Structure 1
Amino acid sequence: MPITVHLCRFQFRDVDFRRVGQITDGGTSLSGISEQIEVDGGGYWRLDATNGSTRTRETGLAWRALSDILDGGATAVDVLVCDLFFAPVAGHPLTPHSDATPFSDKSLYVSSGASFTAAAAPLRATRLTISGVAELPLIGGEVFSIRHVFWGNRTYRIIGIEGDVVTIRPPLREAIDAGTELNFDTPRCQMHLAPGFQVSLTTNIGRYGSCALSLVEDMRKPA
């Protein structure tokens, strides 16, 4: 099982978590309209985190360890997306640690209280029938993850809602059984270091440092 990376540990000020892909031009019609065709199978997730901090001894050591864990992109990790602010929860929640350990201010794990499961759905499905409860209704834009049997933790975003049916992107990476849990509290995605990106270990006066990270969804075929 991949190691879980807690992005909130490094206090990144800017985090861009987005779905990217590829389209091709399908040609121009007689009316002059250019047809754009998606050829990426739904795209993949990319995460760019910048303006992070390694000011303390603990975060500095964690950053050093992470640089070797990522192994230049050879090793996949489970990245905690830290999206609880946009989860279906009232108020201003804290982003939780998956292992329920305290934060630096000694506050404990805070759950959104969201609990959802999905009906059985095939590979590449884009619509899920779900049931569950939450403090706030789903309105679209929420992120959740599913722990698949072979593909591990994968992240999905809700883009439409019709009753108990939600439309998601990207399409399901793997078929799911009835009763599959949808994780809104601690959504995570299996990723690896983006090609060409190198983790910097530079420090100021040998102690303080800033950090940045660029990761892409691990789309290598499971063993």
Structure 2
Amino acid sequence: MIRFKNVSKFFKTDNHRKIILDRVSAEFETGCSYAILGVNGAGKSTTMRMIAGTSLPNSGSIKMDLRVSWPLGFAGGFHPLMTGKDNLNFIARAYGEDVRRVSGFVEEFAELGDYINAPVRTYSSGMMARLAFGLSMAIEFDCYLVDEITAVGDARFQERCRVAFDSRRKNSDVIMISHSMDTIASYCNRGIVLVDGRMLFFSKLDDAIETYYRLNR
């Protein structure tokens, strides 16, 4: 379970304070997959980064008793001067995983060939995405964070990604942000709508989508 306790998050500009969450207490139940909805600027990605631990609330706490992924395909954690393989080995050790298994899985999945031994700074955006997605699939999590599913590679590789992710989510929950309601309906069974610093929870996804459409008119 993921628990928000009296969480506040805001950003300050010169003459304004943008409130994302205002003293929110809430629970994401294990065994449920949630869509995070909201109009542009509501704070969907910021909320997901707080769940991932890459952004901190201004006050309050977020606690969890399960293993949560970084956002699916996120490549921001790679060190640009290290090789792809060295990055894989470092992250595998950080998560207590078998280094050889993780490295072997990603090398086979990402299909980068000899580039796996080249510095990540030399990778194209597509190569980086392949490496990141492969790593996301190499380590099993109780809950996967997905901030938009982006197409990676050609149609054949995209299908490999879809099959791999579908296999992982059979035993895992998903927290997803997407502008595609069809995609959300395929992966989620509950919804959260962010509005005016609050989290509105809906046990029925259709009710969350209907509320989102009303706010977005």
TM-score, normalised to structure 1, is: 0.25
Relative contact order (C-alpha < 8 Å, sep 6+): which is higher?
A: 2
Give the structure with the larger strand fraction: 1
- Higher helix content, 1 or 2: 2
